[in-house]
Structure formats: C-alpha cells, structure tokens
Amino acid sequence: MPPSDTPEKAPSPGVEGQPLIVFDDVVKRFGKLTVLDHLNFSVAPGERVTLIGPSGSGKTTILRLLMTLEKVTEGVIWVADEPFSHMRRGQGLTPASESYLRARRKSIGMVFQQFNLFPNMSVRKNVIEAPVHVLGTPKDEANARAEELLELVGLGDKIDAHPTQLSGGQQQRVAIARALAMKPEILLLDEVTSALDPELVAGVLDVLREVAETTDITMLCVTHEMSFARDVSHRVLMFDQGQIAEEGEPEQIFGDPKEERTKSFLRSVLDNGF
C-alpha cells in the first residue's frame, strides 16, 4: 500500500542547509524479495556519495528509483523539497503519475553500465537529442553545449563520428557528455566501467574525476572501483541486505572501517589486510 505520510511529517530537503535527496523509510520489494528495507538516507546539494557493497545489496535499485525505472513499495523519496516518488494531494501524498515523474526526472541524469547510444546518429546528435526535444533547447545552443562537453570528455575530434566508430571507453565518454548536456542537478552513475576492457577504465574514470572537480553536480555513484570511490567521494555508504551497514568519509571507510561486514567486503575486493 502507498504510504500515508503527510508533507508535515516528511523531511524538508532542498531548503538551504538541507538535503537535496531524501529517502524516507523507503521499502522496495520484488514479489517476496525485499531489496530495500526501510531505508533512510539523504544527500546534500553538491555532495558526491558512493554506494558500495555486494551484488544484490540494493545499490542499483536506489538509482533505478531515482530514474523512475522502478516505483517504491513503501515510503517516500523527496528531491529538492518536493515529493519525488509521490505527489501532493490535499494534505497528503499519493503515488506519482507518469506525467509528474517525467517532469521531475528532467533534473536527473544517469550513466548506465551499457552506453545505450543511438547507433544511427552521430556523436553530436546523440548529445543534443534530449536537450532539443525534451528541454526545448535551441539547436544552436545545444550544439555549442555539445562541443564544449565533448571537449571536456576528450572527444572534440569525434563529434561527427558514429558510435560504431568508437571504442567502448569513447562510447562511455559520449554517454557522460550526453547526461551532462541535460544540465542535471543530480548525476547517477551505475557501474559505468563494468562493461569496459580494463585498459579503457582509467580514461573514463579520469573524465568523471574532472567532472567532480569542475562542477557542483550532486553525484550518486555505484561502483566496484574502490580507488575511484576514495578519490571522488565526500561520503561512502556500505550496503548489505537493503540497509546501510556503515557510512563515513572515504578515509574512514577504506582506512579504518568499524563494521565487520564492511571489512569482509573490502577484503573481497581489495588486498588491504583488513
């Protein structure tokens, strides 16, 4: 059943000094399987948060809920002081309609494991398609933005190439430029290097480090690249069985984890002697 929380009871994200994203007692079930179990956490404007943990712990489900690819079972997600998973009705909340979700998710960009580029379009057209047709950006403005972003990701000379002419790492960098072209307030990154050959990973991670250092975009990242998580994150959340097992600054999580579950996970992905 949808939650009965009223706006008065819910957190107030988006106000100065308050979170941009709030998960308020969120439950997500697939049939009898509970993937997120009464999850509560928040992300501040401009904060870069990395989610780590074993497969099946609920990390990617969080991103899919924010991309409206899945709907919450219970609880409410808030973004910028407004209900995101729900919409206001009278003094309460009701599950969001598709039109409401479409309007709200314009402020959120996502880069997936797979590049999902349009193979019949040039790199330029892949980057300008959504700004022109979704945001109504004038074509000249969208083109100028595309050129700027493709320079940022090191592909200024590939603007008229097609995806089939690019390596996997180059395609993923185009996908990053495409997400940034929508001028998102929030950027979601879902294991963006997992489909790449090892020698291509560093280039993509360097681009994301550059984005992190040169923009104030709020970033929520799922990754198994622990060095990347250490470098770019303000905060790391360790997930296990749909709940947060431990959270802290990267130096604490990777250098002195408190929970045995965190230590055992890091032992499985790092040779660090935990």
What pLDDT, in 10s, does the model give residues 76-130?
Answer: 999 999 999 999 999 999 999 999 999 999 999 999 888 889 999 999 999 999 9
**What per-residue confidence (pLDDT) applies to 4?**
37
> How much is the average pLDDT of 251-261?
96
Strands 74-79 and 21-30: antiparallel
Confidence band for 17, pLDDT divided at 50, 70 and 90: low
In a domain, 241, yes or no: yes
pLDDT tens per residue across span 44-58: 999 999 999 999 999
Q: What is the pLDDT of residue 271?
A: 67
The string over 64-78, giving b where at least 16 C-beta atoms fall within 10 Å of a residue's C-beta and e elsewhere, is bbbbbebebbebbbb
pLDDT at 6: 33
What's the domain count of the chain? 1
Q: Mean of the pLDDT values across residues 232-246?
A: 95
What span, in angstroms and rounded, lies between the C-alpha atoms of 37 and 60? 14
* 11, part of any domain: no
9 within some domain: no
Which segments of 122-215 are extended strands (E)?
186-190
pLDDT, residue 199, reads 84
4 domain residue, yes or no: no
248 lies in some domain: yes
Asked if residue 196 is part of any domain, the answer here is: yes
Mean pLDDT computed over every residue of the chain: 90
Is 259 within the bounds of a domain? yes
Owning domain of residue 54 = 21-269
Domain of 238: which CATH number? 3.40.50.300
Asked if residue 81 is part of any domain, the answer here is yes
Kind and range of the H or E run holding 110: strand 108-111
- pLDDT of 131 reads 95
